[in-house]
Amino acid sequence: MKKNILVLSCLAAFAISCQKDEYSVNSNNSGVTSENLAPVENTAAHAGYTKRVLVEEFVGTSYGDVPEVTRILNHIVASNPARIIVASHHNNDILESPQTDLLVNALTSNGNTAYPSSLVDRSTMNGFRFIGGSNYQSAISQQLNQSTSCGVSISSTINSKTATIDVYEGFTAKINATCFINVYVVEDNIALSNPSNYQANNFNNNNKSPFYHKGNPMSEYVHQHVVRTCITPSMGMQIKQGALISGGSDHQTFSYQLPENINKNNCSIIAFVSQSVNGMPDQVLNVQMTKLGTSGTW
């Protein structure tokens, strides 16, 4: 059974600093404020391609711990925004994509996970793949310090409601595994107007929280990084094996009809390469994100 994990362990660490926070639910950073959080190490790019980290949030409007857990993640991202990319998979609400349950079923042994939680490069930490907010900083730091032998570049154009997306993968060393390319369309700045879709808030009565007296549910909460669709199959499209060598490359072109309920001006493309481990494409090697209708270099 899907359940809402408590973040009391996180709150104990952050309670004092949270008390003095100013919070705006309409900010682009979903309420990011300054705290005494140690910044994630901003290491220089490793030789070849820059290693970026993909954080996949699993959230939903009915889970009252989401505002705080997301706030913790946003503080960490703010310390190194060029190298930490977030994709938010919604569950059990109007923003849920068909891929959410497919991913959970594929990436867990029993098809269940706790909400909210996150995947960091789909790696494991202390034996767990889905982790809570108290482990975000150490897990992200761990992945930022990894080297990578691949890079991703994205170019996209929009003609009316049709988006054409070109994704390129390049490699600096031979990879003795099967690799996959995964492509998401994500949307920022989504405010839900129906009260039945407002964000639950477990901190409305906690005077040490920036969410104190913001309502439960919160009517003005703005959702960021929302995965609207996975253009590739849910676990990715296989990259040709001949490309997985030093100097190798591959390229895919996708056409996507933007639904009427998506604001194309707030959309971005996330593309990432995953490597098969024990037959499962669940280890992210590198990731890239660009605004829809623009191009992004390696």
Render each residue's pLDDT in the chain as its tens digit; 298 residues.
444 444 434 433 343 333 333 222 332 333 322 233 444 443 334 448 999 999 999 999 999 999 999 999 999 999 999 999 999 999 999 999 988 888 888 888 766 788 999 999 998 888 888 999 999 999 999 999 999 999 999 999 999 889 999 999 999 999 999 999 999 999 999 999 999 999 999 999 999 999 999 999 999 999 999 999 999 988 899 999 999 999 999 999 999 999 999 999 999 999 999 998 766 657 999 999 999 999 887 8
Summarised one tens digit per residue, pLDDT across range 67-113 is 999 999 999 999 999 999 999 999 999 999 988 888 888 888 766 78
Summarised one tens digit per residue, pLDDT across range 247-273 is 999 999 999 999 999 999 999 999 999
Q: In sequence order, what DSSP letters do the residues of 144-196 get, joined into one string?
A: HT---SEEEEEEEEEETTEEEEEEEEEESS---S-EEEEEEEEE--EE--SGG
State the maximum Cα–Cα separation within the chain, in Å, rounded to a whole number. Answer: 58
- pTM, two decimal places: 0.84
